[in-house]
Amino acid sequence: MTLSTSYYPADQSGVVLDSTVGSILREAAEKVPDQLAIIAYGHSIDDRRTWTYAELLSEAERTARALLNHFDPGEHVAVWANNTPEWVFLELGAGLAKIVLVTVNPGYKARELDYVLRQSKAAGLFHVRQFRGNRLADTVAKVTPEITELKKVFEIESWDEFIDSADESIEFPEVSPNDPVQIQYTSGTTGFPKGALLHHRGLTNNGRLATDRWQVRQGDIVSHSMPFFHTAGCGLMILGCISKHATHLFPAQFDPALMIEIIEREKADLYLGVPTMLISMMSHPEMETRDVSSVRVVGSGGALVPPEVVRAIESRFGAEFSIVYGQTETSPVITQVPLDASLKDKSETIGPPLPETEVKIVDPSTGDTLPVGQVGELCTRGYLVMHEYFDNEEATASTIDPDGWLHTGDLATMDERGYCRITGRIKEMVIRGGENLFPAEIESVLHEHPAIIEAAVVGVPDARMGEELAAFIRTPRNWKPDIHELRAHVRESLAAYKTPLYWILIDEFPLTGSGKIQKFVLRERWEEGVYTSYDWSDESGEQ
């Protein structure tokens, strides 16, 4: 295929199945009942539990019957927890029971939990007592008495008590592929989250087609550190593994040393993590001594990975590297880099669309499809698109147009092969003195500097220019950045006006639950005076 316009028609090499969460689980339990479905680790290498596919189906059916003893089909039930086996049982059991699962970030505080429970109209809540110092049980006790629609609250630590409430005589309702299955709240990189109402067809098929491109085979051990409350965890990993009859391997939370040890011990075939996780693992001393050669494929998403990091990952693991790109609203994967792509494509592009997925790049102001190579908004259409933002008609209408195209809000280009490149967010585009600047372009250059671990470029208010560029950078702790050197590094590759004016050294970035940098938080903190900066204009007046 050689394109002249930035429109990629749906590749029909794949098939969209009329599948549901329950149908793919039953198929796996029928075909490979004795194969390991789950290997779950707690907070140490000695805390390990396993389930076969037959056992997993049994747990899911018991969970479904217990749910139906307390809730009606179609009701919304929230889960507020880290990665536990019970989280998996709830996802699968809710799918069988025709109950919509509302996924909640365990890092949330009282105000955020209150918002999600009310906005989703949740009738029930499952939660752990605490996670990483966040006392969830105390927050639940504070928030839930004021929410009248919430009928039942269960602690996951008392799971057996809940399961014992199952009525074996309860029959499962009929579930169709188009039925709602989850409300997934957006990561919130630009503000308060909206609830994407996802369906069985989207989540089950997307997990299968993405793992197809990773060449996951029956019996493979697929490991990851992605949170279950995000579509990458509960969609790509939980449902993708089931669709491929693979073994799903996960820890309770991400810890680089433990993750490396788990990969060695279990001889994992694939690992998925966001760039910050991969960078943390690659720089950890355990990586020097552990055998991770079993890994064939390393997958990532959320941000591009610099070429030198891609090289290091492929060399250390002896694996192929592949980036995925998507959004909560698209179940989640839209495009994915093939395993046999070049280093340049692996580090600079997000690959071509998945099968059965239409993608186009349009002029944000006119909606016209652009010629190849021009920057515009990436839009997608197909089975993967959510039903709506739950109970938010205005937001839905501004995101999904009358022709069914979902407007991602991401600025991108498409080449003649259909490979796409993200150049930034429409809302993140910086307008400096009338010039449109794209932070992703500058970040890509900064990541090429050997002393920069992570970088985020943000537009900040400026009385004279409208906006100025601020570069937030993270470096090794023993390295003090030379701003002159960094400015020169940028100017070697980009026009002078694309050089950041402000440079802020940061120890830790504010992140979403899925590991994306929250640029709006960086901007807000800048405006509040939280950060101090080296201002080049203080020295030379030049910019």
Residue 539: pLDDT band (50, 70, 90) is very low
pLDDT of residue 157: 98
Residue 96: pLDDT band (50, 70, 90) is very high
| Residues 203-252 pLDDT 10s | 999 999 999 999 999 999 999 999 999 999 999 999 999 999 999 999 99
Q: Which residues contact 144 (CB under 8 A, 6 or more apart)?
A: 117, 125, 150, 153
Residue 434: pLDDT band (50, 70, 90) is low
pLDDT of residue 536: 53
pLDDT of residue 419: 98
Closest by CA position to 185, among listed 124, 243, 99, 100:
100
Ordered DSSP codes for 455-475: EEEEEEEETTTEEEEEEEEE-
- The predicted model gives 340-354 an average pLDDT of 95
pLDDT at residue 403 greater than cutoff 90: yes
pLDDT at residue 189 greater than cutoff 70: no
- The predicted model gives 369-377 an average pLDDT of 96
Instruction: Express as a percent the part of the chain with pLDDT over 70.
Output: 96
| Residues 111-170 pLDDT 10s | 889 999 999 999 999 999 999 999 999 999 999 999 999 999 999 999 999 999 999 999
- The predicted model gives 41-62 an average pLDDT of 98
pLDDT of residue 540: 41
d(CA 196, CA 324): 19
pLDDT of residue 439: 86
pLDDT at residue 190 greater than cutoff 70: no
Range from 45-49, 106-110, 237-241 carrying the lowest mean pLDDT: 106-110
Higher pLDDT, residue 79 or 279: 79
pLDDT of residue 276: 79
Q: Which residues contact 529 (CB under 8 A, 6 or more apart)?
A: none
pLDDT of residue 192: 62
- The predicted model gives 319-323 an average pLDDT of 97
- The predicted model gives 18-35 an average pLDDT of 98
CB 504 within 8 A of CB 472: yes
The neighbouring-strand residues paired with 406 are: 380, 400
SS (H, E, C) 18-39: CCCHHHHHHHHHHHCCCCEEEE
β-pairing verdict for 36-41 and 48-52 = antiparallel
Provide the mean pLDDT of the chain. Answer: 92
pLDDT at residue 36 greater than cutoff 80: yes
Q: Which residues contact 482 (CB under 8 A, 6 or more apart)?
A: none
Residue 418: pLDDT band (50, 70, 90) is very high
pLDDT of residue 479: 77
Q: What is the CB neighbour count within 10 angstroms for residue 386?
A: 27
* Dihedral angle sign, alpha carbons of residues 69, 73, 75, 79: positive
d(CA 32, CA 56): 11
Range from 155-164, 375-384, 490-499 carrying the lowest mean pLDDT: 490-499
Residue 90: pLDDT band (50, 70, 90) is very high
pLDDT of residue 62: 98
SS (H, E, C) 353-397: ECCCEEEEEECCCCCCECECCCCEEEEEEECCCCCEECCCHHHHH
Instruction: Express as a percent the part of the chain with pLDDT over 90.
Output: 77
pLDDT of residue 324: 96
The neighbouring-strand residues paired with 9 are: none
The helix (H) or strand (E) run that includes residue 255 is none
Q: What is the CB neighbour count within 10 angstroms for residue 477?
A: 7
Range from 86-90, 352-356, 424-428 carrying the lowest mean pLDDT: 424-428
The structure tokens listed for 461 are: 């208010």
The structure tokens listed for 118 are: 């009310």
Domains and CATH numbers, the chain: 7-414 (3.40.50.12780), 428-539 (3.30.300.30)
| Residues 249-303 pLDDT 10s | 999 999 999 999 999 999 999 999 988 789 899 999 999 999 999 999 999 987 7
Residue type for 304, please?
L
CB 203 within 8 A of CB 21: yes
CB 352 within 8 A of CB 8: yes
In three-state secondary structure terms, 286 is helix
Each residue of 276-306: b (16+ CB within 10 Å) or e? Answer: bbbbbbeeeeebeebebebbbbbbbbbbbbb
pLDDT of residue 535: 54
- The predicted model gives 25-42 an average pLDDT of 98
Q: Which residues contact 143 (CB under 8 A, 6 or more apart)?
A: 110, 113, 114, 117
pLDDT of residue 127: 98
Residue 191: pLDDT band (50, 70, 90) is low
pLDDT of residue 541: 35
Higher pLDDT, residue 93 or 535: 93
CB 22 within 8 A of CB 95: yes
Cα separation values, 298 from 146, 444, 483, Å: 45, 21, 34
Ordered DSSP codes for 257-275: HHHHHHHHHHT-SEEE--H
| Residues 441-477 pLDDT 10s | 899 889 889 889 899 999 998 877 778 999 999 988 7
Higher pLDDT, residue 188 or 448: 448
Residue 543: pLDDT band (50, 70, 90) is very low
pLDDT at residue 347 greater than cutoff 70: yes
pLDDT at residue 538 greater than cutoff 50: no
Rounded to two decimals, the pTM is: 0.84
pLDDT of residue 268: 98
